[in-house]
């Protein structure tokens, strides 16, 4: 059985469809940010050129991956504090770099956060696989109420950012592999899974080093 079919078999059709829809919204947000930024300074300018040149059918294929192309610190439990701790820690400031500045980012962040919350509450392994979410982070996110999650979106929608900003070739591989299908698609899919897993591994190592200091 091909690896793509195996991974898809681990996820419900609703989950796969939700990821595809979120990936579409994320790419459209990325395109909107590129229009607001200087092309020279935008790290994924060539990727957006590819995206803008695709028709609807090609776009549908290009985003059909069983993981989210954006991130919001899902591998970092320290970022997603428990709801009761938010007010205590709020005065410490926002140490995380902001990528999106366009108004549409708030709505997309809300969609991503809600999806992460519902997935963490329903099935932690799916959150780990599709969002690159650390299991401890899943516990923290799942502990939110709908009200505290909404407040988190209001305060921290700026956490949302594309994965692999320093590796535009990965994005090109994903879009073009999704369009072409076959071995190109399988290779792109596995590469993405490896990178998502690496995010968790790196964050876990840094967290252990932090607490050893």
Per-residue pLDDT of the chain (213 residues; tens, 9 = 90+): 344 444 555 788 999 999 999 999 999 999 999 999 866 679 999 999 999 999 998 899 899 999 999 999 999 898 887 544 544 344 444 567 899 999 999 999 999 999 999 999 999 999 999 999 999 999 999 999 999 999 999 999 999 999 999 999 999 999 999 888 899 999 999 999 999 988 888 877 776 655 554
Q: Is the dihedral of CA 82, 84, 87, 91 positive or negative?
A: negative
Q: Please state, in angstroms and rounded to a whole number, the distance separating the CA atoms of residues 174 and 167.
A: 12
Give the count of domains, the chain: 1
Domain that holds residue 155: 3-212
Extract the tokens encoding 172: 């090109």
């Amino acid at each position: 059985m091909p690896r793509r079919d195996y991974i898809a078999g681990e996820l419900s059709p609703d989950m796969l469809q939700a990821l595809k829809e979120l990936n579409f919204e994320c790419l459209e947000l990325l395109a909107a940010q590129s229009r607001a930024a200087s092309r020279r300074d935008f790290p994924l300018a060539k990727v957006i050129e590819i995206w803008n040149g695709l028709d609807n059918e090609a776009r549908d294929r290009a985003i059909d991956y069983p993981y989210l192309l954006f991130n919001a610190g899902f591998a970092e439990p320290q970022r997603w504090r428990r709801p009761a701790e938010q007010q205590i820690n709020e005065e410490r400031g926002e140490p995380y770099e902001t990528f999106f500045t366009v108004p549409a980012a708030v709505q997309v962040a809300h969609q991503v956060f809600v999806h992460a919350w519902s997935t963490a509450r329903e099935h932690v392994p799916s959150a780990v696989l599709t969002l690159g979410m650390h299991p401890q982070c899943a516990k923290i996110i799942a502990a939110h109420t709908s009200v505290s999650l909404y407040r988190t979106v209001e305060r921290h929608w700026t956490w949302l950012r594309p994965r692999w900003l320093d590796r535009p070739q990965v994005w090109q591989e994903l879009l073009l592999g999704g369009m072409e299908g076959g071995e190109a698609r399988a290779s792109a899919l596995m590469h993405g899974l490896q990178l998502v897993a690496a995010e968790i591994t790196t964050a876990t190592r840094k967290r252990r080093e932090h607490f050893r200091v």
